Amino acid sequence: MAIYAVGDIQGCHAELVKLLDEIRFDPAADTLWLVGDLVNRGPGSLEVLRLVKSLGDSAITVLGNHDLHLLAVAEGVAELNRNDTLDEILNAPDRDELLHWLRHQRLLHAQDGYVLVHAGLLPQWSVAQAEGLAREVESALRAKDYVIFLSRMYGNAPHHWDDGLTGYKRLRVIVNAFTRMRICTKSGEMEFKFKGEVENIPADHLPWFDIPGRASAKATVIFGHWSALGLKLTPNIIALDTGCLWGGPMSAIRLADRQLFQVSCNNPVAKHW
């Protein structure tokens, strides 16, 4: 059995199908680990959701910021953005079934020394602590009053972790770290405006994974979200957002031997920051 980790899909259904053919994916024997952002901006978000859902236990996906945005828009607590491509899902006959399935996916998956997450882990979080915090958000998403959580998850504050945080402020920091973070200060203060390349990071900030003494450094973290970072493979980092949506390849890596597989983008969209 092989495990393949796959970068951000963002509605690029044709490329996902091509990538699965490239790796000769066998759902009876293999497993996909998806870094989140299954949907939005690309032309085939509905088809992506249907495909990944159909794979059952052969696909493990964590939620990204675009996936959470879809859930919030569907419940009427957020507005569609100008470049969103979510209407097909929102109008689909199986909409409720797909959204229910999406809402029950994970925020973080840890297994055999790997951590799968969309954006990153705050430097002071150990893997065990991060797992526990992820379960808190997952419980809120699966609760009967989940719409209240969706309505309160937006915002940049607080921008750092405090063990004493409670309620929706606590959940918001967890969501922002797992699904939106790219850079932070050495003390773990997150900055959300920056989306560019590493050499242009603002003063006093570093990529979250380069913070000295990061508590999760002994694990190998698999993530996406940062297309300007691109492919980054180190002993404890696997970054897989290679910008398929913008004309880059869609990437997968076989965890057993770190063999990289990539397919080209069919129809890139114009980039809007």
Q: What is the pLDDT of residue 34?
A: 98
Q: What is the pLDDT of residues 111-140, one digit of tens each?
A: 999 999 999 999 999 999 999 999 999 999
- The CATH number of the structural domain formed by 3-263 is 3.60.21.10
3-state secondary structure 108-146: EEEECCEEEECCCCCCCCCHHHHHHHHHHHHHHHHCCCH
Mean pLDDT of the chain: 96
Output the pTM of the full model.
0.97
Q: What is the pLDDT of residues 197-227, one digit of tens each?
A: 999 999 999 999 999 999 999 999 999 999 9
Residue 265 · residue 12 · CB < 8 Å: yes
> What confidence tier does 269 reach under pLDDT thresholds 50, 70, 90?
low
> What is the pLDDT confidence band of residue 58, given thresholds at 50, 70 and 90?
very high
Instruction: Determine the number of helices (DSSP H) and then strands (DSSP E) in the chain.
Output: 8, 13
**pLDDT score for 1:** 87
